[in-house]
Structure 1
Amino acid sequence: MELTAYQQKLAAWLDEYRDFVPAQTRIRVVQQILAAIKQHELPDQLISLEFSETELVDNLGKYPQLLTFESELLDLRQLLVEKFGIWHLFSRRWVQDLKHFINAEQTKSLELMAGNAVLTKFVPNMRATDNLDWKGQDNEHPHPWTTVENSDALVAVQKYYRVVDNIVLAWAPDQDEIDWHILQFLRQQKWAGKFIVIGEKNGATNSKAFWQNSHLTLVAELNRNHPQVDFINDQVFLVK
């Protein structure tokens, strides 16, 4: 997917749906996201890019291509993966919630499978680790936003668990049980810190073994500014 072509579509949609406020809102949010990411910054907030059932039913007559438009708008996720190496997008509001929840100025944190370390750049006292095994898949060339230590996730946990208070794991792959191995290790060590996992329960992220064996708490503070952006219902869990 070409970034320029997608941006040209956004501009064309702004004109096509100039009288349809829900479309205008979503288009402008996507434009703001892309503008921020290109500057290695985060968008202020995120919203759902899917239309509600009411919005669709009430407007399909006037805009018969609305479902096609929605589908193409939702290509944003794949674009972020392919062009920016970002599988999960954070907002500034959500990062502020996280920093408050973990008391970031006073604690130490570890980000696993950090990719381009988009989160670590904005969280004090956080170390990013990733073995970069995603190179050559959807995204060829890593462009880290800050320093990333080349390390397997389990190895990183074994190395740093004694000196960190928080571990964050966002969008672990669903075909690898390393998330479950990490949780088992932390349980064996009776680790008392916060293990924060972002993913879609029994869905697009994380292994079946992890979801089946983890004790999950949905953290209200970490989900209030974490909307379901598209068809993937990822949420923020505290895991034991």
Structure 2
Amino acid sequence: MTNFLDKVNQLNGEIKHPVVNKQVVEVNQIINQLDQQQILTSAPAKLGLLPDEVEEILEQVGQEQAAKIKVLNQLLNSMRQYLSIRYGIWSLPNLTTARLIKEQLHVNSALEIMAGNAYWSRALDTAQIGTIATDSLEWAKTSATGSQPAVNVVDLDAVQAIKRFVQVDLIICSWAPNFTKTDLLAVAAWKKYNPKSRLLFIGEKNGATNSPAFWQTIKLHHSAQLRRINQSFRSYDFINEQIFEIEHEI
């Protein structure tokens, strides 16, 4: 997907339709900000064309453009995959959400575990939540993006990090892998070492993130505050990405 953006822009120039162009402009803006390691101000608009949108566009630009629109739509729906390959980002933070986390949850300090390239840490820092980014960094040894963190990342696995940084108000984890039980180990460490803090996981319930055992056993805390936060964090693709808070037991 190395020529992702070139191909998207080329097809947009050939199709010449305002609905398509609006989405391509959004893609360019996202990539331009990430190239500068900047955090988006707000969540991006939905990317990808629905079947009825495709039909409507084809009525206006001609059926001969069908193949190009199909390819472009596939690229738009692959945006998250491109961001993971190019920037090591699976979840796209925004400042509106980060500021709402501070305001609604009343937190001033945070620990990001399994941080990857730590764009959520950059967002929380920008929202004036003092944040420590941590990761075991095993993935970075084989990834071309492993040397491009948005902030300094401390080399600690999730349990070690929670045990060491017990003073934080918030622990946050974005896109925990769905093939290990590291997420459950992190919850257990939170309960043991810093249960007074809030614990947030960002991902897709029973889907792309976290272990099946996590979703089967963890109790989620539902609140008006979290609903307000999630209203600012709409997903830009077919993955139903949300922010989840783990229920306190104290």
Identify whether the pair has TM-score above 0.5, normalized to the shorter chain: yes
What is the CA-CA distance between 1:131 and the residue it aligns to? 1.0
Q: What amino acid sits opposite 2:53 in the alignment?
A: E
- Hey, what's the Cα distance between the residues in 1 that align with 2:141 and 2:84? 12
Q: Which residue number corresponds to residue 147 of structure 1?
A: 152
Out of 85-94 and 48-57, give the one that drifted further: 48-57
CA shift digits 1:39-84 (9 cap, x unpaired):
0102233121122343234335545233332111223222211221
TM-score calculated relative to the size of structure 1: 0.88
RMSD of aligned C-alpha atoms?
Answer: 2.1
1:80-159 to 2 correspondence within 5 Å?
A: 80-104=83-107, 107-122=108-123, 123=125, 124-137=129-142, 139=144, 141-159=146-164
Q: Quick one: which of 64, 74, 78 aligns to 2:66?
A: 64
Identify the match of residue 44 of structure 1 among 41, 45, 55: 41
Q: Report deviation, 1:6.
A: 1.9
Superimposed CA distance per residue, residues 3-56 of structure 1 (whole angstroms, 9 cap, x where no aligned partner) = xx222223223323323x322221111100000000010223312112234323
- C-alpha displacement of 1:227: 1.6
Change (3 A) 1:233 1:29: same
CA distance in 2: counterparts of 1:38 and 1:207, whole angstroms? 31
Q: Which moved more, 1:32-41 or 1:92-101?
A: 92-101
- Report the counterpart of residue 78 of structure 1 in structure 2: 81
Which of the residues 176, 183, 197 maps onto 2:180?
176
Alignment-derived partner of residue 22 in structure 1: 19
Shift of 1:220: 1.1
Which amino acid in the other structure matches residue 238 of structure 1?
E
Q: Could you tell me whether the CA contact under 8 Å between 1:81 and 1:138 is conserved in 2?
A: no
**Which residue does the alignment assign to 1:185?**
189
Paired amino acid for 1:115: G
- C-alpha distance in 1 between matches for 2:194 and 2:40: 37
Q: Structure 1 pair 140/40, CA: closer, same or farther in 2 (3 Å)?
A: closer
Number of residue pairs the alignment of both structures matches: 234
Structure 2 spans left out of the alignment, 5+ residues: none
User: CA, structure 1 residues 232+37, in 2 after alignment: closer, same or farther (shift >3 Å)?
Assistant: same
Change (3 A) 1:40 1:184: same
Q: 1:32·1:43 contact (CA, 8 Å) conserved in 2?
A: no
Per the normalisation by structure 2, the TM-score is 0.85
Matched residue SS, 1:64: helix
Q: Which amino acid aligns with 2:197?
A: G
- The 3 A distance-change label for structure 1 pair 184 and 77 is same
Q: Which runs of 4+ in 1 moved over 6 A?
A: none
Unpaired segments ≥5 residues, structure 1: none
Percent identical among aligned pairs is: 28
Q: Mark the CA change 1:221 to 1:157 in structure 2 (over 3 Å): closer, same or farther.
A: same
